[in-house]
Amino acid sequence: MAKSRYLDFNVLARIHNMQLLAKAVVEGFILGLHRSPYRGFSVEFAEYRQYSPGDDIKYLDWKVYGKTDRYYLKQFESETNLVCYIILDASGSMGYRSNPEGLSKLEYGSYLAACLAYFMMRQRDSTGFCVFDTKVREILPPRMSHSHLQHILATLDKTGPGGETNIATPLHDLAEGLKRRGLVILITDLLDDAKAVLSALQHFRFQGHDAIVFHVMDDAELTFPFTSMTEFTDIETGDKAMISPEGMRPVYMEELKRFLATYEKGCADVKADYKLFDTKTPLEIGLSEYLYKRSRFK
């Protein structure tokens, strides 16, 4: 078993019997858990084709022969492994934590990435990993081995929050470089221009990828629990502002509502899954709820 501070076995125990199934048809060549556009002989019937000399006669359909006096073979959908790309935002804003004893957004996202990588490889899916802030900082191409999982976990262990946020540019760069269609999982706080981010997600969808956005936010960002005059500091720029929470709360909550709605609707428009995670919520609860919901749409 690979070792890492981010490999949470409470999460793995909760989701061990679920499958993260791509809703899109994906490419691949190893028998596994996901539909492939290629034809093979498996368990799910696809279509008939006329017999040709040299074909294996055990797949002849004798009932069809009895009705038509012609030889036809049954063809089946082959099943294949998925190629998964986990993309983690490690910009400065991801380093925020409101509770000194709690997790930062980056730590929460790292637990999520580690468990997904383990989970995907457990179901025999090749998994790649990428870390970015204003640009791609680390990238590991998709592999399916114990040693590759260790490389992903080691990368997570050394990853800290970086510079300012620029989500769209690294995503466009990655979309151009991915060679096989697969499942793209983006883990981020989405604190960037929504129009640019959604355009980058559309780029992945245009390339034929299935896409999931795991939106990680701190509980204080979602509830604005401040009660007295508070100095707020922009983690990425260092800018400071002294604010009265009582007067700011209604404005902030309305803007938050608009912010979340923009991304939820935008992801739906580009046919990307969207799931909001609160860092206060145990990861195993949020992730298992999402996997259960997704599995119903297989």
Query: Of 48, 12, 18, 47, whose CA–CA distance to 33 is shortest?
Result: 18
CA dihedral 190, 117, 135, 178 (to 10 degrees): -110
Alpha carbon separation from 157 to 47, 94, 121, 146 (Å, rounded) = 48, 15, 19, 17
CA distance 266 to 271: 9
| 50 close to 70: Cβ distance less than 8 angstroms | yes
Domains of the chain with bracketed CATH: 9-18+82-295 (3.40.50.410), 34-80 (no CATH)
**Alpha helices (runs of H) in 236-282, residue ranges in sequence order:** 245-269
Spell out the per-residue pLDDT of the chain, length 298, in tens. Answer: 555 788 887 788 877 777 777 766 666 655 566 766 665 545 566 667 787 776 778 778 888 888 888 888 876 655 567 899 999 999 999 999 999 999 999 999 999 999 999 989 888 889 999 999 999 999 999 998 888 999 999 999 999 999 888 999 999 999 999 888 899 999 999 999 999 999 999 999 999 999 999 999 999 999 999 888 888 888 777 888 888 888 889 999 999 999 999 999 999 999 999 999 999 999 989 988 898 888 776 5
Give the per-residue pLDDT at 34.
Answer: 72
Give the per-residue pLDDT at 241.
Answer: 87
Cβ neighbours of residue 270 under 8 Å, at least 6 residues apart? Answer: 198, 201, 202, 205, 211
Give the per-residue pLDDT at 273.
Answer: 95
| 211 close to 204: Cβ distance less than 8 angstroms | yes
Q: Six-digit token pair at 32?
A: 């596994």
Give the per-residue pLDDT at 30.
Answer: 56
Give the per-residue pLDDT at 245.
Answer: 84
Q: Tell me the backbone φ, ψ of residue 226, rounded to 5 degrees.
A: -70, 140
Give the per-residue pLDDT at 3.
Answer: 59
Provide the CA 167 distance to its chain's centre, in angstroms.
Answer: 15
| 72 close to 60: Cβ distance less than 8 angstroms | yes
Q: Six-digit token pair at 186?
A: 């983006």
